Amino acid sequence: MAQILRLATRESALAMWQANFVKSALESAHPDLEVEIIGMTTQGDRDKSSPLTKLGGKGVFVKELEVALLEGRADIAVHSMKDVPSAFPEGLGIAAICEREDPRDAFISNSAASFSELPVGARLGSSSMRRRLQLKEQRPDLAYLDVRGNVETRLRKLDDGEFDAIILAVAGLKRLGLGDRITEAIDPLDSIPAAGQGAVGIEARLDDQPTLTLLSAINHVDTFDCVSCEREVSIGLGASCDLPIAAFATLEGGNIALQTYVGTARKHIRVKGQAVRQDAIAMAKKVTQQLLDQGAGQLTSKG
């Protein structure tokens, strides 16, 4: 008889893609395993009009899934790592991260060939303050507007003329088969991605050793190490991931290089670091302290 593993997920198209991706990977790695997908609707899905900052940050996309884990109604929960808050409920944690898709931000427009070619005053839509602040440094002449809804809804708003361009994640568009809508993939140095962007993570109960063992077979170590380095910045700043904080790590030979950004409309700070892989977390802590020394704590608390 097959072993059953219950997987909790949001019910959006992208979340279901991620859930089915993890289901396929686990069942391929463990032929006697059957993964049952449990779709759930979160507060972030129910309220598509309020800005994320008003709802309490992107953690609204994961809270209900975590309750299902804690109550034993699910064995694992699948998340976009960029939506996962820096702190977990006691007893839960990320047990595995799948290989990362393209982490860059995507510029999408039906009229401009690139971000730099948008005309003065053009309306640029994004739900991410991180993206808006970084791009505004380069193009302060644009009108930066909030846009909510799933990927398809945002694209429809663009096509209906509510915006001249929108910014989404390259990874999400590719996973939904919408890669042809990408006008330009933005250089990650121009718009540093959110910690974990493009990576799918699997949360579990930390005392559930049989499940942790199953998950270890699909953990992508390079991605896990880079995302852990990025998340160390969010953790060190004590930030929920609705704040305008960016952290992006890449492997360069045996080293991990880290780029970070913290900003508000008043001020922005960028710090970078590099270390051998085994020292990457210590390096991320040092970079975080440099951010704090330059005033990041005041930005994130008052931003």
Active site residues: 83
The radius of gyration of the chain from alpha carbons, rounded to an integer in Å, stands at 19
Per the CB < 8 A criterion, the answer to whether 28 and 35 are in contact is no
Alpha helices, H only, 34-128:
43-46, 52-55, 63-70
Tokens 């005309």 -> residue: 119
DSSP per-residue codes, 174-192: HHTT-GGG-SEEPPTTTSP
Question: Hey, which residues does 108 pair with through a beta bridge?
Answer: 166
Long-range contacts of 266-275 (CB under 8 A, 24+ apart): 266/299, 267/295, 267/299, 268/133, 268/134, 268/137, 269/294, 269/295, 269/296, 269/299, 270/192
